[in-house]
């Protein structure tokens, strides 16, 4: 049955390749940003329901999240889809810089792209479902809809509220664009800690600022006024930038970024700007480093509030631990990737890349495709290459909220190469619009989607039909956690079960920057 089920899964992916391509392009065109992916989530839900999945929407209090289930009983294996886009990246699928129709370049667009991530995982799950049905395989297949990955928003919420507690194994997929993780799986060096919060500065008692000049109207045109929220946000931005070297020593790889969500909300009258919001997000190798940054930002925020006659509150968006590896599931998944083979790009994809180089005024090359994106790299080789770039003490690299799955069940991180331009022989860098355009062109992105779907389908089928594989993966999970969930080396989600997802904050809308 096992081999027949695998064959059924592969045939299903191939049979629905056209539909997967169409859905990938649809999600890419919708380009809905974090927490605002209503149509994108609905498109995935519609497909899952049509395929017989029982779907719960609005999971964890998040309107664009969902949990879809097919089958019943043990084991319970899962994968997930993402579909959020990135503000400021609108690009048409053409070989020149041009925003999508009806938008400006400041509108959202897919970068990684999550359109391919979501549909690749969806295709794998649908193929596994076909194998379950045809071969009467026991067990439960779960597909999670995970919004807002760009702020690492949903998975920590799902984890905190218990949605992953009953999982036996999970498969995570991401299109590859960072060397050496192209067409491989992560082995030991998984993603690190991430934290994000929003500081809100508000002017509540502006009349207490400075000496009164006896004006009958508070904040009259001739009167001094409280500095207010714009000053608070700009001071917070500047101070935290200036103190960055004091926040965390320059060792290992880490980053801290900020985004101003609200600034002012005042008229041209002589009134203090009443509210300002700034978001901070930081990626670090350890939780201790994440906490150190949080403490420094908190001190900065309260000093700034005092200087500007504001109150200040902090609201968490996300907090994650570094990921927990599982070599057993990693090797099994890589074996399936090797069976499927790396993506292959045809002449239509190459013609598109040649056209981009022509637009940029670059000399013709024989093959414009980055060769590493079409080659497998063994997990041990990828691990060794990455370790050369990191200090010996650093056991994680970059961040992604899929790590929440790793602390609840054996989880594998699959990377499949995405079509990319090879480095220019003259060293000319490519502008950001290039990769965005490639991500929306079917001949370029479809091979990534299909390769991922085939690999994920095989891995899910293996987990459902090979009890020894699943038990070995779970034994490793228990050993690494000191006994599984609640073991002496297991770590709980950092957000509490009563955490409210920050869906109400003024995140950019999909309709922003329409032409």
State yes or no: pLDDT of 259 exceeds 80: yes
Could you give the CA distance from residue 352 to residue 377 in angstroms, rounded to a whole number?
26
Residue 170: its H or E element:
strand 169-176
Q: How much of the chain exceeds pLDDT 70, in percent?
A: 97
Please give the average per-residue pLDDT across 476-492, as a whole number.
Answer: 94
Question: What are the φ and ψ backbone dihedral angles of 195, each rounded to 5 degrees?
Answer: -145, 145
Per-residue model confidence (pLDDT) at position 129: 98
Per-residue model confidence (pLDDT) at position 382: 97
Question: Does residue 426 sit in helix, strand or coil?
Answer: coil
Per-residue model confidence (pLDDT) at position 214: 56
Radius of gyration of the chain (CA): 24
CB 205 within 8 A of CB 317: no
Query: For the chain, which domains are there?
Result: 2-191+341-481 (3.40.630.10), 194-320 (3.30.70.360)
State yes or no: pLDDT of 218 exceeds 90: no
**Beta-ladder partners of 70:** 141
Question: What are the φ and ψ backbone dihedral angles of 372, each rounded to 5 degrees?
Answer: -65, -25
Q: In this structure, what is the dihedral angle of CA atoms 6, 12, 14, 20, given to the nearest 10 degrees?
A: -130
Number of neighbours of residue 101 by Cβ within 10 angstroms: 9
Per-residue model confidence (pLDDT) at position 3: 87
State yes or no: pLDDT of 211 exceeds 70: no
List all residues 6 or more positions away from 10 whose beta carbon is below 8 Å from its beta carbon: 127, 454, 457, 458
Q: How much of the chain exceeds pLDDT 90, in percent?
A: 87
Question: What are the φ and ψ backbone dihedral angles of 140, each rounded to 5 degrees?
Answer: -125, 130
Question: What are the φ and ψ backbone dihedral angles of 8, each rounded to 5 degrees?
Answer: -60, -45
Confidence of residue 207 (pLDDT cuts 50, 70, 90): confident
Residue 480 CA: distances (Å) to CA of 189, 323, 484, 495: 14, 11, 8, 22
State yes or no: pLDDT of 227 exceeds 90: no
Per-residue model confidence (pLDDT) at position 268: 65
Could you give the CA distance from residue 137 to residue 14 in angstroms, rounded to a whole number?
21
β-bridge pairing 275-284 and 193-202: antiparallel
CB 363 within 8 A of CB 427: no
CB 226 within 8 A of CB 266: no
Per-residue model confidence (pLDDT) at position 213: 55
CB 506 within 8 A of CB 262: yes
Express each pLDDT in 378-415 by its tens digit. Answer: 999 999 999 999 999 999 999 999 999 999 999 999 99
Express each pLDDT in 88-126 by its tens digit. Answer: 999 999 999 999 999 999 999 999 999 999 999 999 999
Confidence of residue 208 (pLDDT cuts 50, 70, 90): confident
The strand ranges marked E within 419-489 are: none
Q: Report CA torsion sign: 173, 98, 344, 180.
A: negative
Residue linked to tokens 């300002």: 276
Express each pLDDT in 410-436 by its tens digit. Answer: 999 999 999 999 999 999 999 999 999
Mean pLDDT, the chain, integer? 94
Per-residue model confidence (pLDDT) at position 393: 93
State yes or no: pLDDT of 305 exceeds 80: yes
Predicted TM-score (pTM) of the model is 0.96
Could you give the CA distance from residue 185 to residue 338 in angstroms, rounded to a whole number?
11
Q: Which of 406, 336, 328 is nearest to 172 (CA)?
A: 406
Could you give the CA distance from residue 462 to residue 81 in angstroms, rounded to a whole number?
20
Question: Does residue 62 sit in helix, strand or coil?
Answer: coil
Please give the average per-residue pLDDT across 230-240, as a whole number.
Answer: 94
Per-residue model confidence (pLDDT) at position 217: 59
Express each pLDDT in 6-62 by its tens digit. Answer: 999 999 999 999 999 999 999 999 999 999 999 999 999 999 999 999 999 999 999
**Peptide bond before residue 468 is cis, with ω within 30 degrees of 0:** no
Could you give the CA distance from residue 314 to residue 300 in angstroms, rounded to a whole number?
12
Express each pLDDT in 448-481 by its tens digit. Answer: 999 999 999 999 999 999 999 999 999 999 999 9
Could you give the CA distance from residue 446 to residue 513 in angstroms, rounded to a whole number?
28
Express each pLDDT in 268-292 by its tens digit. Answer: 677 888 999 999 999 999 999 999 9
Out of 168-182, 216-230, 256-270, 322-336, which region has the weakest mean confidence (pLDDT)?
A: 216-230
């Amino acid at each position: 049955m096992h081999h027949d089920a695998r064959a059924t899964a592969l045939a299903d992916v191939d049979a629905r390749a056209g539909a997967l391509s169409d859905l990938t392009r649809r999600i890419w065109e919708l380009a809905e940003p974090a927490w605002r992916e209503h149509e994108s989530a609905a498109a995935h839900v519609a497909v899952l329901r049509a395929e017989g999945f029982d779907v719960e929407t609005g999971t964890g209090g998040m309107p664009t999240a969902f949990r879809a289930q097919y089958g019943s009983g043990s084991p319970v294996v899962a994968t997930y889809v993402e579909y959020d886009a990135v503000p400021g990246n609108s690009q048409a699928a053409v070989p020149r810089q041009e925003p999508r129709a009806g938008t400006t370049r400041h509108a959202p667009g897919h970068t990684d792209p999550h359109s391919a991530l979501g549909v690749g995982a969806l295709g794998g799950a649908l193929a596994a479902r076909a194998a379950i049905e045809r071969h009467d395989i026991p067990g439960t297949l779960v597909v999670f809809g995970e919004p807002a990955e760009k702020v690492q928003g949903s998975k920590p919420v799902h984890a905190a509220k218990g949605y992953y507690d009953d999982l036996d194994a999970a498969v995570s997929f991401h299109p590859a664009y960072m060397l050496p993780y192209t067409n491989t799986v992560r082995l030991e060096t998984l993603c690190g800690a991430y934290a994000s919060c929003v500081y809100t500065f508000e002017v509540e008692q502006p009349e207490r600022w400075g000496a009164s000049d006896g004006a009958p109207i508070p904040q009259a045109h001739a009167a001094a006024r409280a500095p207010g929220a714009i000053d608070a946000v700009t001071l917070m931005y500047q101070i935290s930038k200036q103190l960055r070297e004091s926040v965390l020593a320059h060792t290992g790889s880490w980053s801290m970024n900020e985004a101003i969500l609200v600034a002012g909300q005042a008229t041209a009258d002589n009134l203090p700007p009443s509210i300002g919001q700034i978001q901070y997000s930081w990626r670090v190798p350890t939780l201790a480093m994440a906490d150190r940054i949080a403490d420094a930002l908190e001190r900065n925020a309260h000093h700034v509030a005092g200087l500007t006659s504001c109150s200040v509150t902090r609201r968490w968006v996300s907090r994650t631990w570094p990921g927990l590896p599982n070599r057993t599931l990693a090797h099994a998944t890589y074996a399936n990737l090797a069976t499927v083979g790396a993506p292959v790009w045809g002449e239509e994809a190459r013609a598109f890349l040649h056209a981009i180089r022509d637009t940029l005024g670059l000399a013709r090359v024989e093959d414009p495709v980055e060769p590493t994106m079409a080659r497998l790299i063994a997990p041990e080789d990828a691990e060794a290459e990455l370790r050369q770039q990191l200090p010996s003490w650093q056991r994680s690299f970059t961040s992604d909220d899929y790590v929440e799955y790793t602390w609840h069940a054996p989880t594998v991180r699959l990377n499949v190469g995405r079509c990319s331009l090879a480095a220019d022989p003259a060293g000319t860098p490519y502008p950001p619009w290039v990769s965005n355009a490639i991500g929306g062109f079917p001949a370029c992105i479809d091979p990534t989607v299909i390769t991922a779907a085939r690999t994920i389908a095989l891995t899910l089928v293996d987990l459902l039909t090979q009890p020894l594989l699943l038990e070995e993966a779970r034994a490793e999970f228990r050993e690494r956690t000191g006994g599984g969930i609640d073991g002496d080396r297991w770590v709980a989600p950092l957000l509490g079960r009563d955490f409210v997802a920050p869906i109400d904050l003024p995140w950019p809308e999909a309709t922003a920057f329409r032409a």
